[in-house]
Structure 1
Amino acid sequence: MLNRGDMHMELQRYLLFDIGGTHVKWGILNQEGKILSKNHFEVLDVHDDSVLQGMRNIIISHKNVVKGIGISAPGFIDSATGYIEKGGAIKFFDDFHLKSILEDEFNVSVTIENDVNCVALAEQWLGNGKGLKDFICITIGTSIGGSLIINGELYGGHSFRAGEFGYIITEDMNHRTPLEGRMGRTSSMSILRKKYANHYSMPLCEVSGERIFQDFDAKDPFASELVDTFYQNLAIGIYNITSIFNPEKVLIGGGITARELFLDELTSKIDSLNEFFDIKIDLCYFKNDSGLVGALVHHLNQKTVRHG
């Protein structure tokens, strides 16, 4: 990990990107993790090169004032080579060598890491994972993402798929396909919104997570069943994960964690299942900036590895 004693007196600046399915966040951070400026641009089409072109425009404007570029992105990513096998929400990045393309074009050091792995790295450095040797990150959004820190190191697995907790099956097999019962389909905000919209014959764009939980708080029968099932499946997934890895803590991120009662409601479900494991749940310290900070950590760590 980073050693502040090894840093030069003059703080270097880095350009960081956090690629999502609807927006690409970017920022200038110094090597201590301070955000000097940040902004974002919209993802116009996940199938064309609009994300790449947007990144190019930002790099052209800032390449002369930054030491390097770090990228947080969805999908299956070989962080050592920068090769994206599957680009997640950004289909254009399937089978794509983003790192080498940008390095060749701009003659600057580029690193890339999976988005939830970046969340874990940010939490390990300056967040609620600081000082822990073994912890897990779970993010709840349009799907379920995950990351593992084992013995102080990010664990990626033999084909950079470790931590894909969204594929854990948490419901019975009485679905069209077994994967219909996976956690990414049973405990994500997107599935909550779709089920609510279908039940009330509403356009999906008019259904927000806030609306569903407002109805839940108002004791609406359907919303109560929907949210209870959401928490139940999330608790089952967390219980299964912790029974395998026995982490010191499970950190959870995503917009839903802004709900004041979220931790209490989830912990209650986990406690109803658990008799054997000491399962500590906490929220991620970093919110919307976790991808930028984690991309910086990964970039600095890779730089340290390269230079020994």
Structure 2
Amino acid sequence: MVPTFTLCLLGSSALLLSTMPGAQAAWCPFPRVPHGRVSPRHYSYQTWDTVSVTCNPGYTLRGPGRSTCGAASRWDPPLPECKKEVTCPRPPSIANGLHTGLSSGSFSRGVTVSYSCREGFELLGNESITCTDSGRWSRTLPRCEAIGCQVPEVQNGKVHNVQSTYRAGDTLHFDCHPGHAAEGSDEARCQPGGIWDPPLLVCHRVRPCPMPPEVANGNHNGRDTEGFTMGMSVQYTCDPGYYLVGNAAVTCRASGNWSQPRPRCEEVTCPRPPSIANGLHTGLSSGSFSRGVTVSYSCREGFELLGNESITCTDSGRWSRTLPRCEGLWGALS
């Protein structure tokens, strides 16, 4: 059997096809994929020709990336589609929690984001969400709930109206046994993470306090009191020339101790003496100026001193008297 040859003209190209008698060449339609490109690109495709498909930026391939021209003039498997790429907005934030998408700029379909809670909180609900084909996040968001507290122990006392559970923010009150009392407040507040504030609940045996502590260069108003019991306070004052630093009062606590810290009396000092135009003072070499320190003023040559020659640091921390001034002599002006 002798094969025959057929000359096919396609545009400016000529293809010489060899066929067997009674056989006909199979041709496939041009592989058009909207928003995509095929490779290799020919004017026509016949049996066993294979093409690869890639999508334009912003589009995603749906289907196989390669297809072959079959004997029935059909592409097998069918040519894929290039669908516009689906993205989801930034994942929502949750109170007291974080998600794994904080460092990402875009979220394509199928991307999963996981949630976690900060210390002291536990995650309730879905641990993750996924970007769906519709551009929305799947499932409802979880929430972070503060870890609650257990019933605390009270040394020499007991919790008032005990509850089975305490959530963060709940407050409890406790009672002390007879002869005992709480030094501060008789309540505690549940903090996130299952911690009570204060962490230790203690009722101390009530004891009298000794004479209030002395402070240098100061005094208190409790010298005429015979005994001090829980809740009693004394006030401190400082001697002239000294000022009070800290709380002026201390209180007798249930344990028989005075509240801390006690105040102290610091010596009054004056700021650096003011300068005057065309004059000097004797305090230039000093670093501090205690009460009673006197500074004298003088004028440079050609000027005379008018006013007070000296000023003194007073008990209030201020300089006494008004400043002098230096006035030019007539002889110096001629």
The TM-score with structure 1 as length reference comes to 0.17
More helix by percentage: 1
Structure number with larger C-alpha Rg? 2
